[in-house]
Structure 1
Amino acid sequence: MTVYTYRCPHCSEIEAIFPIGTAPAAVPCPDCGAASARTFSAPMLTRTPTAVSTQLQRAERSASEPEVVTSLPRRRSGGAVALHPATGRLPRP
């Protein structure tokens, strides 16, 4: 089933669900009964990975609802140098 968008000339946009390839060119508006023409838009062919969408939602929420911290973050073991293999080749002071 696919969601199709129709625009009523008097009201607003309407979403209707039809099997692929069976959507009519116009449907009646549920509010006023006028013929609503089908609109075409770009399909959503890509999906955002779950980890990325979770972080994007978290960043959006933090603008209006910042997280409250009750304790200091724990320090990772291993000191100040990150445990990445490339950091072993860096010069030391």
Structure 2
Amino acid sequence: MVTYQYRCAACGDVDVRRPMGAATSHVPCPRCGADARRVYTSPRTRLVAPGLVSALDTAGASAENPQVVRREVAPRAPRHAHPLHARLPRP
């Protein structure tokens, strides 16, 4: 379901949830029943998780100014959740 925004002359902005692509240019206002016209707005990007916004900003910044690696990090041996996995034969 997508939230579409409409503007009623009497009530102001009205949000209507409909399936994607099912929006019409006019709907009856849910408050007063008058004709409400569809308003085209930008996507609601403020509802994105802050962690995702931070990760996207970091990825965008590193694309133009990559961080310089000063030392090599040695790979760690994989840890197993069950202690008996450590006794299994290794290739």
TM-score by length of 1: 0.48
